[in-house]
A = this chain, B = another copy of it.
């Protein structure tokens, strides 16, 4: 699976792509396609088959054109993925209508992100420092900040808090998505995998009873999650701890 990068080419062209500014062509044949059409097709492929399956040839196939035609609309695969990324983020919803103060609002942000990553797992395979500065990212950052505005935090703390919460949503969604992708790729559930692994491990000399805690806790956790790992539980548990920690900070500011 490929982790793709953004920002390869001309930044100006990238921005025009993201914000839908077309250079207004005058002569030449009518374009058969539009950028949005290409992006929609690409997202559909990535959603259904993963970022691995997303190739320029595949997108072109899906649109009934020759591979190289795509490059008329998009400078390279990197820019295409930039636009895909921004369009996907546009599905996020602001927390403004969530009643009850900063805590439920932050919870909404986390869950909304969690859901998004599950709808578009390929988002997790795109490297997003220097993110594509499209409309969705602007909107996202703004409504995230609104969730923690006016509760006594400094600007930097506001930034840190939303980064912590959304970053946590991303990282726990990553575990969850990885589990699902592993199941799809291997055709084997987590439990099945463990049942295959356990007897093999006993045949290997792991050095005796060196792992008493692992054995005990691993068994309890495995029982609880019905699998090696419980992403949903880890998400809820971690979110509660993080919000508690933020509460401590806010309380100390009063």
- Where the two chains meet, the residues of A that have a C-beta atom closer than 8 Å to any C-beta of B are 1-5, 7, 11-12, 15-16, 19, 21, 125, 127-130, 133, 135, 138-139, 141-142, 145-146, 149, 154-161, 163-164, 167-168, 170-172, 174-175, 178-179, 181-182, 185-186, 190, 193, 196-197, 200-201, 204-207, 210-214, 216-218, 220-221, 224, 228-229, 233-234, 237-238, 240-246, 248-249
Which among B167, B174, B211, B217 is the interface contact of A159 at CB below 8 angstroms? Answer: B217
Identical copies of this chain, number: 2
Whether the pair B3, A125 counts as a contact (CB closer than 8 A) is yes
A93 to B193, CA, bound (A): 28
Which among B171, B207, B213, B214 is the interface contact of A170 at CB below 8 angstroms? Answer: B171
What are the residues of chain B within 8 A of A170 when measuring CB–CB?
171
What are the residues of chain B within 8 A of A211 when measuring CB–CB?
138-139, 141-142
What are the residues of chain B within 8 A of A221 when measuring CB–CB?
155-156, 159
Whether the pair A19, B204 counts as a contact (CB closer than 8 A) is yes
What are the residues of chain B within 8 A of A156 when measuring CB–CB?
217, 220-221, 224
Whether the pair B238, A246 counts as a contact (CB closer than 8 A) is no
What are the residues of chain B within 8 A of A129 when measuring CB–CB?
175, 178-179, 182, 190, 228-229
Closest CB in chain B relative to A121 CB, distance in Å: 12
A159 to B167, CA, bound (A): 20
What are the residues of chain B within 8 A of A190 when measuring CB–CB?
129-130
Whether the pair A201, B145 counts as a contact (CB closer than 8 A) is no
Which among B7, B185, B196, B206 is the interface contact of A19 at CB below 8 angstroms? Answer: B206
What are the residues of chain B within 8 A of A241 when measuring CB–CB?
161, 164, 242, 245-246, 248-249
Which among B1, B4, B145, B218 is the interface contact of A217 at CB below 8 angstroms? Answer: B145
14 contacts between A and B (CB under 8 A): A2-B2, A7-B193, A11-B197, A15-B204, A19-B204, A21-B204, A127-B181, A129-B229, A138-B211, A145-B213, A161-B241, A164-B234, A241-B246, A242-B245
Whether the pair A130, B244 counts as a contact (CB closer than 8 A) is no
What are the residues of chain B within 8 A of A163 when measuring CB–CB?
229, 234, 238
What are the residues of chain B within 8 A of A212 when measuring CB–CB?
142
